[in-house]
Homo-oligomer: A and B are copies of this chain.
Amino acid sequence: MAGGELIVMKQPFNPDDGFVFHLSASKIKFLEVAEEMELIKEDRSGKMREFSVAQMEDFLPDDMHVDDLLTMAERQSIVMHELENVRALAEDDHIPGYPTCNLYEGQSIFQVCQEYGIVTKLFPLHDHEALKKLGQSCLLLYFGESIALYFQFLGFYTSALMVPVFLGLLQLLFITETIPFFCVFNVVWVTIVLEVWKRKSNELAFKWGTIGMTSMDEPRPNFRGTMGIDAITGKIQPQSPRYMTYVKMYVVSIPVVLVCMVVAFFVMLVSFWAEDYIKQSEDESLQQYIIFPSIIYSVVVFIMNLYYRKLANFLTEWENHRTQSQYERHRVTKLVLFEFVNSFLSLFYIAFIIRDMDMLKSQLQTMLIISQAINNFQETVLPLAIKYYAMKVLHLKQRFLEKPSSNHPKIFRENAVDHAEPLTELKMPQVQYDDERIKQATEEADMEAYEGTYDDYLELFIQFGYVFLFSPVYPVAALWAVLNNILEIRADAFKLCKVFQRPLSRKVKDIGAWQRAFEVLGALSILTNCGILYLTPQVRRRAVGLSEVEWLLLFVLLEHVLLGIRYLLHIAISDKPEWVRVALAKKNYESRQAIKFERSQKNRRLLTRKFKTVHLPHTH
């Protein structure tokens, strides 16, 4: 096995919990790996380029010490990179000491350890000093691109919501005739917001040096394939043909996801039918159970969600996507499709099948407010409460058993029986018993692990749907959303700093599948808004002269005009700001010049050699 050359220190051994290792790297190693990872940093002249140790001075402003060159997020992803890239060689067929844990060539050993539960927890420690002075601008440095981008999106989206809030409040004041105008404005606004976000996201990706990420980049640790020469870089990396992934997606994953969606849809229908049955039943005693179907439905959805999430993770892993971004995109797509059915289809059913606008409004109101309340509770109050009580229980237990504290973090735990060299005997520097870091690691190991930005985006996605899909029915939704989001920004920051283990930083160039998910919802909102306007009796009453078919055609026309405007806006608003395009073109031009320079250098060397061997004898 190739070693990661990391600095590993173990914590004093505690037989109850297994081993805890503290990982770091030397200053030089950090810089070397930064170069190897082709980390993009801003140089003195403000240009984004790949970091290189030889040219380190170019990246160091005068007032910066070399130790501060790499941000916390960068250092952390360097350690992760090294840890994950300890790969099995051809002769390693299992993890030493764990004969049941099979390895194949090129697999990331650390990932296998995580899969088999040899490693149970992995997290970076919080930096309380840094947290104290953490402003909006430092999010990137502390948490990395993925989380910084989420906060950027949350802020951008919330400020964009101010326009619907204003319109929604106006709508309350004015008469109902103005509703269609507000709706039209709303759906156009959504399109503009999402197009502008794409620009902003590209701008950020450029500034962060992630805009060049492609599906050809270095594979994710879990990417399976035979080791081979990479067609692009010429490095030895696991290779697996892309078409296999497509075959798996089209033949298995998509049908499975569709079946799950249909099942979820039927579960919803059954709950509606049950409610209907109770409502229409003659039996008076049955009426008191009218609330039961929706409660049962909520529970079923919760359980379905749990299992579906596992299924989606499994399928996406099995599809074997090359990069982390691809993996995330396909995983999120699967999850969002299912969530869409659960969150919105009942509203669609009420709006367009039952066609009861009052019921729609009350349902929307309930769902919006309840979901926001539950989310905020889940995110902040619940984990803190659990932690508090867990501590109390533990305390009691300890006092009762009169034994020393046993809630140590388990970063590595041995749970296999036979191994040649027990970890206890590993020769390795130990962290001192009284080291501050032991206490911190112990505390933070008990915190929950942050599972990635999925849940946070999902919350916004559902909120977005509630606000825009049915805006004529419940225009105040935007106001609730803004109030929630202002709280959310703080709650999320609190959650990341205090409630969860410090998340691993992850590079991203955009919000991935969410961009498309929001866009599709934006397009759908055109359809639903037109549909609801068509069905609203107050609007219909104003146009008594029109036949039913003409009335319908009017809204079909309106919808197509709006879809047309959407297309035009999509064309007119370019994805990247002009300055980013110029900067990218410049970089491209410079690297083309460099390749010419390299070739000419080689040629000169060749010519020089020729000259020496052929012509020199003549001149002498």
Contact = CB atoms under 8 A, between A and B. Distances in A.
Contact of A586 (B232, B578, B600, B601): B232
B548 A582 contact: no
A598 B598 contact: yes
A37 to B, nearest CB: 13
Contacts of A556: 552, 556
A437 interface: no
Contacts of A590: 595
B52 A582 contact: no
A399 interface: no
Nearest to A579: B231
A387 interface: no
A610 interface: no
A49 B601 CA distance: 17
A400 interface: no
A553 B534 CA distance: 12
A566 to B, nearest CB: 12
Contact of A599 (B52, B216, B588): B52
B232 A55 contact: no
A601 B601 contact: yes
Contacts of A601: 601
Nearest to A52: B596
Contacts of A214: 581, 585
Contacts of A52: 596, 599-600
Chain copies in complex: 2
A609 interface: no
Interface string A518-559: 000000000100000000000000000000110011001000
B232 A582 contact: yes
A594 interface: yes
Interface string A497-537: 00000000000000000001000000000010000000000
Given A54-B600, A596-B50, A589 B548 contact: no
A38 B592 CA distance: 10
B597 A54 contact: no
A71 B294 CA distance: 74
Given A585-B232, A595-B590, A603 B55 contact: yes
A242 interface: yes
A288 interface: no
B598 A597 contact: yes
A231 B582 contact: yes
A619 interface: no
Interface residues of A, number: 43
B597 A233 contact: no
A398 interface: no
Contacts of A38: 592
A527 B567 CA distance: 15
A111 B620 CA distance: 56
A591 interface: yes
Contact of A592 (B571, B591, B600): B591
Nearest to A551: B549
A571 B38 CA distance: 30
A355 interface: no
A54 B603 contact: yes
Contacts of A232: 582, 585-586, 589
A554 B20 CA distance: 64
Contacts of A548: 548-549
A560 interface: yes
A531 to B, nearest CB: 10
Interface string A221-251: 0000000000111000000001100000000
A586 B231 contact: yes
Given A552-B549, A603-B55, A216 B582 contact: yes
Interface string A596-617: 1111110100000000000000
Nearest to A585: B216
A214 B516 CA distance: 26
Interface of A: 38, 49-50, 52, 54-55, 212, 214-216, 231-233, 242-243, 516, 527, 548-549, 552-553, 556, 560, 571, 578, 581-582, 585-586, 588-592, 594-601, 603
16 contacts: A38-B592, A50-B592, A54-B603, A55-B600, A212-B588, A214-B581, A214-B585, A216-B582, A231-B586, A232-B582, A242-B578, A243-B578, A548-B548, A549-B549, A552-B552, A591-B594
Q: Which 6 A-B pairs have the closest CB atoms?
A: A591-B591, A594-B595, A594-B594, A216-B585, A594-B598, A232-B586
